[in-house]
């Protein structure tokens, strides 16, 4: 059948995109954003079951089931952009303008875009049927499981040989080594990454990789995969130099092969080395057929890098909407971290330009290599290579093709001096992944074009898209932001508010060192005026973090936000919600019965939250003590849903019940929740503990994420949901219970001491120089010598913890806060209007109040009636 009717084609032009990878995602996103008149209907046909995902970050998935879905994923919820998963295109008819899928469905098109990407080639050698590749999520998931299976079967680490010493090969070998495999690399070049690095850089990189226990076989290639007699299993590999090595698993990552077979069968012209030949308009040799990404051959070259694929997608989006954009060159700049090693190259890194001058700093013993390539007069920057320390890359990359203001050696961080501060031209490219110029970033900072100025780094990243993909340009984006704000006369101040010139971090340390214990003392020492609704809650949080005293005593009640003053969350109608703590989500039937009785007796609306807690809505302020007395007597504690504190520790059932669980995630979750309960921080925070790599507790989306492995626990940090969702980053692997808790202690206390007000852990880590590497140095390696101090601070919190509602109920003076009317303490608020919905009472709308459908509540016991 033909899926797109002629009538629908007349109302909208049909665009079919073949392939569901990053290039297809970028094209769909661009068309979704630009096609405001909805003139196009976009159908993306993807062979994979997954939403389009970040292939560059595939190696991170080796450590666990990481969600690599590309953002924004909401583009697929549009009514004019449709993603067809598990759909393989089998044939293209460029005359009839149709695409036929494997299921026999025929899609008619007006415009066809090939984004079919590439495949990972495996050479036709003996035993190649047993080889694996490193290309997709499914490939990576298989390899992780196979390494574990082989280790169990042989009683030793799996022996894995990776063929290919380029980007993918190094990522694969490093990731498999971190899983415990005995990894080795065979590479046909004389040094690693021979296509991107010169010999000096390749040798420096090789020294570091070999130092990590990964064996290197250079200048040779596999000639045969050796197998058992029945041909069922791999036993080793024979190289072209005659050498043989033992191996249980062989993985090929030797480059890409453009998937151009559909195009070739349809009569579309190919490039000299394969791929669909395109011009600067990204059009193929056939009218209304385009190509983008790895399948596109531009000037005879197919590339597997992100930036060119994104640029091609933007060009095609513009062309389909009537524009004249052009793709004029391939940006092959690369910056990444391979097996923990910084590697970057850009421009004419191999100095192929005639009379090019190379300025090199090499320290083989440290694995450090830095090179800048310039014109013969040392003026114009042509390229560069960095291994071991790639910090100059961010500031040098935008200067490509421009004159340097100082001698080239001054830009090498290995020389020990600060690089010159060149004033970048507006045309310089700051973010090659998203093709964002320096001028575009500056315009976003100042709100040029009528948009709101973007005066913070998160806002600037969102509105300009700079730094939202690989992240290598974020330091430069931040530098541009601060420079532009300074030009406007704005001081780059971290002052807490008009009353405190200190930042939150500075104030925290000052209060800690001087042992100040009241707002008045702190204000008189460091501030002016009387304080405000910005600084008061911050000071309250600082005091709570350092003293663990009852948060409403000694004048601290007036500093708190509304929710903290009531020890409950205020809702839209002025009532409050009650959230008892349920550590790890584990609860007895008896305690469930208590919650059910409380909700029934007080007429509360009940809801199970996404964090495995039970929320009861609709309590009046004066009812809170009565409700909590019942709950406290039953053994419940406050869940701190109202505070900038630990909300919950989510867990799966782990090894206790689940047949896939490898560790007791429930016990660990309960232990963590009882340890960190009540801990006040700059922002609320959440934990998650998953009992295996299937990640049912969604730990990677939490500030602290713990995922079980056969060897212990992997620790992820800095994840969060909310307005700017962020995946946690891997901090440490295979930790025992005590080391895991010790690292979390250090991480949380370091965050509490140094983060800004209302700054979530993800944003805090973004702002730290060095990001996750800096955090790892502090938390794991104790680079600042703070480990003991941070652990003692957390121990003091644990020792001094007191449930806030139990403390409230024990003191009549504290209970006086919970009165609806001070001059009539026994009176209840009579103005609570409710309507029945699905067997419970919810707040009435204005219209429902006016129509007489609402129930007016008063008193304590509330009957529930049906409509």
Q: Is 282 left (phi over 0), alpha (psi -120 to 50) or beta?
A: left
> Average of pLDDT values for 313-336?
86
> How do the domains of the chain map onto residue ranges?
6-119+258-320, 128-255, 504-560, 645-805
Tell me how far CA of residue 524 lies from CA of 178, 527, 540, in angstroms: 53, 6, 15
Strands 111-114 and 81-84: unpaired
Residue 125 near residue 222, CB atoms below 8 Å? yes
For residue 364, the model assigns a pLDDT of 66
What SS3 state is found at 498? coil
Burial category of 856 from C-beta neighbours within 10 Å (exposed 0-12, middle 13-18, buried 19 and up): exposed
Express each pLDDT in 551-578 by its tens digit: 888 777 777 777 788 888 878 777 889 9
Q: How far apart are CA 545 and CA 547, in angstroms?
A: 6
- 696 is annotated as contributing to ligand binding: yes
- Give me the half-sphere count of Cα atoms (radius 13 Å) on the Cβ side of residue 785: 0
CB atoms within 10 A of CB 657: 10
> Encoding tokens for residue 169?
């090969």
Rounded Cα gap, residues 175 and 168, in angstroms: 10
Q: Is 260 helix (H, G, I), strand (E, B) or coil?
A: coil
Closest residue by Cα to residue 844 from 627, 616, 664, 605: 605
How sure is the predictor about 493, in pLDDT bands with cuts at 50, 70 and 90?
low
Helix (H, G, I), strand (E, B) or coil at 194: coil
Distances (CA, A) of 256 to 133, 164, 301, 814, 839: 11, 11, 12, 69, 59
CA atoms lying within 13 Å on the CB side of residue 278: 35
Q: Where are the beta strands (DSSP E) in 306-417?
A: 334-338, 341-347, 357-363, 368-374, 381-387
Low-confidence winner among 16-20, 113-117, 643-647 (lowest mean pLDDT): 643-647
SS (H, E, C) 106-172: EEECCEEEECCCEECCCCCCCCHHHCEECCCHHHHHHHHHHHHHHHHHHCCCCEEEEECCCHHHHHH
Specify whether the backbone of 555 is left (phi greater than 0), alpha (psi in -120 to 50) or beta: left
Rounded Cα–Cα distance for residues 477 and 767 (Å)? 12
- CATH of the domain spanning 645-805: 3.30.413.10
- pLDDT tens per residue across span 75-105: 887 888 999 999 999 999 999 999 999 999 9
Q: Give 193 or 493, the one with higher predicted confidence.
A: 193
CB 337 within 8 A of CB 212: no
The burial class, CB within 10 Å (0-12 / 13-18 / 19+), for 769 is exposed
Task: Report the 10 Å Cβ neighbour count for 213.
Answer: 10
465's enclosing H/E stretch is none
Return the DSSP state at 818.
Answer: -
CATH topology of domain 128-255: FAD/NAD(P)-binding domain (3.50.50)
Interval 189-211 mean pLDDT: 87
Give the residue with greater pLDDT, 258 vs 423: 258
- Judged by average pLDDT, the poorest of 257-261, 423-427, 645-649 is 423-427
Task: Confirm or deny that 658 is annotated as ligand binding.
Answer: yes
Q: CA 59 to CA 174: how far, in whole Å?
A: 8
Give counts: helices (H), strands (E), the chain: 26, 39
Vertex 804: Cα angle to 686 and 862 (nearest 5): 90
Neighbours of 522 (CB within 10 A): 22
Domain 6-119+258-320 has CATH 3.50.50.60: yes
Q: Are 69 and 52 in contact (CB under 8 A)?
A: yes
The tally of CA atoms less than 13 A away on the side-chain side of residue 728 is 29
Residue 13 scores a pLDDT above 60: yes
Residue-wise pLDDT for 676-709, tens only, equals 999 999 999 999 999 998 899 999 999 999 999 9
- Which one is predicted more confidently, 364 or 293? 293
Distances (CA, A) of 752 to 153, 417, 534, 731, 743: 45, 33, 17, 18, 14
Rounded Cα gap, residues 730 and 837, in angstroms: 44
Two tokens at 659?
Answer: 């047949």
pLDDT of residue 823: 44
Instruction: Identify the helix (H) or strand (E) that includes residue 800.
Output: helix 787-800
**Stretch 12-24: mean pLDDT, rounded?**
93
Mean pLDDT calculated for residue range 477-496:
76
Q: What is the pLDDT of residue 839?
A: 83
Instruction: Work out the mean pLDDT of the chain and round it to a whole number.
Output: 86
> Identical fold at 6-119+258-320 and 645-805?
no
pLDDT at 785: 92
- pLDDT given for residue 66 in this prediction: 73
Cα gap 715→728, rounded to integer Å = 9
């Amino acid at each position: 059948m033909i899926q797109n009717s002629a009538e629908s084609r007349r109302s909208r032009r049909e665009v079919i995109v073949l392939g569901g990878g990053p290039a297809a995602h970028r094209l769909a996103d661009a068309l979704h954003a630009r096609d405001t008149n909805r003139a196009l209907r976009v159908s993306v046909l993807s062979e994979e079951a997954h939403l389009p995902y970040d292939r560059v970050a595939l190696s991170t998935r080796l450590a666990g089931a990481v969600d690599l879905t590309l953002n924004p994923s909401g583009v697929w919820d549009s009514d004019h952009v449709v993603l067809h998963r598990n759909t393989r295109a089998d044939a293209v008819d460029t005359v009839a303008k149709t695409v036929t899928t494997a299921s026999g469905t025929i899609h008619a098109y007006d415009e066809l875009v090939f984004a079919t990407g590439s495949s990972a080639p495996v050479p036709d050698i003996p035993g190649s049927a047993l080889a694996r590749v490193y290309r997709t999520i499914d490939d990576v998931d298989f390899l992780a499981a196979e390494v574990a299976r082989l280790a169990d079967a042989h009683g030793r680490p799996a022996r894995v040989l990776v063929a290919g010493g380029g980007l993918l090969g190094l990522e694969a070998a490093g990731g498999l080594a971190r899983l415990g495999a005995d990894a080795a690399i065979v590479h046909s070049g004389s040094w690693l990454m021979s296509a991107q690095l010169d010999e000096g850089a390749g040798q420096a990189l090789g020294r570091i990789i070999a130092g990590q226990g990964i064996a290197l076989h250079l200048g040779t290639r596999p000639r045969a995969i050796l197998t058992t007699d029945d041909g069922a299993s791999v036993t080793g590999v024979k190289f072209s130099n005659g050498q043989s090595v033992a191996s249980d698993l062989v993985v090929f990552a030797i480059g890409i092969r453009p998937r151009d077979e559909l195009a070739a069968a349809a009569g579309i012209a190919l490039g000299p080395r394969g791929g669909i030949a395109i011009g600067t308009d990204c059009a193929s040799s056939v009218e209304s057929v385009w190509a983008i990404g790895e399948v596109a051959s531009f000037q005879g070259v197919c590339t597997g890098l992100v930036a060119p694929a994104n640029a091609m997608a933007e060009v095609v989006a513009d062309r389909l909407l009537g524009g004249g954009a052009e793709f004029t060159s391939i940006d092959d700049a690369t910056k990444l971290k391979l097996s923990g090693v910084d590697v970057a190259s850009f421009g004419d890194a191999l100095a192929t330009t005639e009379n090019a001058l190379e300025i090199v700093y090499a320290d083989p013993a440290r694995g450090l290599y830095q090179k800048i390539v310039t014109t013969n007069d040392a003026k114009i920057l042509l390229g560069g290579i960095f291994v071991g320390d790639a910090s100059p890359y961010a500031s040098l990359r935008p200067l490509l093709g421009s004159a340097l203001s100082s001698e080239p050696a001054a830009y090498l961080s290995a020389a020990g001096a600060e690089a010159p501060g060149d004033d970048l031209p507006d045309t310089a490219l700051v973010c090659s992944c998203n093709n964002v110029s320096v001028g575009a970033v500056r315009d976003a900072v100042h709100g040029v074009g009528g948009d709101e100025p973007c005066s913070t780094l998160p806002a600037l990243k969102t509105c300009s898209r700079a730094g939202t993909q690989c992240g290598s340009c974020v330091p430069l984006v931040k530098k541009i932001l601060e420079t532009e704000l300074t030009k406007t006369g704005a001081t780059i101040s971290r002052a807490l508010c008009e009353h405190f010139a200190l930042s939150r971090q500075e104030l925290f340390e000052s209060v800690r060192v001087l042992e100040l214990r009241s707002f008045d003392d702190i204000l008189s020492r460091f501030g002016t005026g009387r304080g405000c609704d910005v600084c008061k809650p911050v000071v309250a949080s600082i005091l709570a973090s350092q003293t663990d005293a009852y948060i409403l005593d000694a004048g601290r009640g007036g500093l708190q936000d509304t929710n903290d003053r009531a020890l409950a969350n205020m809702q839209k109608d002025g009532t409050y919600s009650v959230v008892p703590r349920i550590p790890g989500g584990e609860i007895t039937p008896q305690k469930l019965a208590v919650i059910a009785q409380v909700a029934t007796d007080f007429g509360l609306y009940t809801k199970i939250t996404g964090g495995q807690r039970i929320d009861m809505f609709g309590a009046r302020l004066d009812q809170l003590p009565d409700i909590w007395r019942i709950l406290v007597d039953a053994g419940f504690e406050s869940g701190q849903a109202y505070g900038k504190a630990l909300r919950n520790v989510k867990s799966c059932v782990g090894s206790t019940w689940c047949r896939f669980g490898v560790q007791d995630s429930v016990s660990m979750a309960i232990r963590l929740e009882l340890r960190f309960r009540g801990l006040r921080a700059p922002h609320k925070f959440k934990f998650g503990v998953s009992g295996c790599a299937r990640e049912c507790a969604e730990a990677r989306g939490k500030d602290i994420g713990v995922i079980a492995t056969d060897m212990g626990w992997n620790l992820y940090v800095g994840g969060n949901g909310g307005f700017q969702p962020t995946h946690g980053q891997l901090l440490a692997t295979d930790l025992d219970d005590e080391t895991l808790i010790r690292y979390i202690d250090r991480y949380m206390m370091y965050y509490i001491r140094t983060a800004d007000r209302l700054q979530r852990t993800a944003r805090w880590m973004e702002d730290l120089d060095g990001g996750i590497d800096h955090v790892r140095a502090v938390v794991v390696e104790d680079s600042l010598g703070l480990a003991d101090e941070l652990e003692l601070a957390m121990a003091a919190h644990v020792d001094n913890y007191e449930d806030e509602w139990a403390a409230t109920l024990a003191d009549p003076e504290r209970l006086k806060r919970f009165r609806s009317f001070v001059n009539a303490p026994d009176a209840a608020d009579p103005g609570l209007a409710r309507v029945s919905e699905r067997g419970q009472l919810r707040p009435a709308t204005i219209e429902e109040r006016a129509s007489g459908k609402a129930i007016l509540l008063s008193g304590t016991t509330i009957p529930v009636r049906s409509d």
